[in-house]
Amino acid sequence: MNFNSKNPFLSNKRFSSNAVSKAEEVHQAQIIDYNQEMTLSGTINKTAILFLLLCGAAMVTWWMADNQMNPLPIAIGGAIIGLILVVISAFKPQYSPYLAPGYAIFEGLFIGGISAIFEIKYPGIVVNAVGATLVTFLVCLGLYKFRIVKVTEQFKSVVIAATLAIATYYLISWVISMFSSWTPVHHGNSLMSIGISVFVIIIAALNLFLDFDQIEKGVQERMPKFMEWYGAMGLIITLVWLYIEFIRLLSKLSSKD
């Protein structure tokens, strides 16, 4: 069964029952205690835990900015360490119960710092971005739950291709801007820049469907218990991406006023 996803975390072959390691195969072959299997409720609970850890850590760098301290060093450090933890967990999902909480904390430091900076310049933008992210999540969850949107192989292919195109564009733009005075098209508040942000938000939202689908299939395939943390971490990664894109879009719209 194919478990491809745009989410670079959930797309890891570790989420495929055909690519489970030897130890995991033994686990599946000798299942006696169903408490050792991945469950939907367990994944939901762990997603909630990671979300709370992320919010708690975000309050630290937000507090720093609110008290005239520079949150950027900690925020940037959090982003780097968070990325490292994601990479490690992608190759070693069995360590997700330890890596996922760490990711949520360090990514929270990044989110809090960035949010505080945007809030200072555009008052009220964080509440709007959080609200937009939450509404998008709930709408996508409802559409998936009631099978209004079905995750087919063609759907996966389109979303994955679009996401890879976005990631490639961002990477190339970042590298070129580092060594030249060129300003990427998605910067600024032009109509094209706003249009790009809207497109990226749509693709990020579509990735939620892929994440829901993979978590559901992971439960059906009776993956090991630690995959609950792995799946929860992947979902948080997508939500963080969606939030960042919303706050960027709102900042562009606010700067046009």
Which stretches of the chain score pLDDT less than 50? Answer: 1-6, 12-13, 17-20, 22-23, 25-32
- The Cα–Cα gap between 187 and 203 comes to 18
User: Residue 125 to residues 33, 196, 251: CA-CA distances in angstroms?
Assistant: 47, 19, 7
Say what the pLDDT of residue 184 is.
84
| Residues β-bridged to residue 37 | 224
Say what the pLDDT of residue 250 is.
97
Say what the pLDDT of residue 34 is.
56
Say what the pLDDT of residue 257 is.
61
Q: Tokens at residue 151, please?
A: 């995750």
Nearest to 176 by CA among 210, 168, 103: 168
Nearest to 89 by CA among 163, 9, 146: 9
pTM recorded for the entire structure: 0.86
Say what the pLDDT of residue 17 is.
47
The rounded percent of the chain whose pLDDT value lies above 90 is: 77
* All structural domains of the chain with their residue ranges: 36-255
Q: Using one digit for the tens of pLDDT, what is the confidence trace for 35-78?
A: 789 999 999 999 999 999 999 999 999 999 999 999 999 999 99
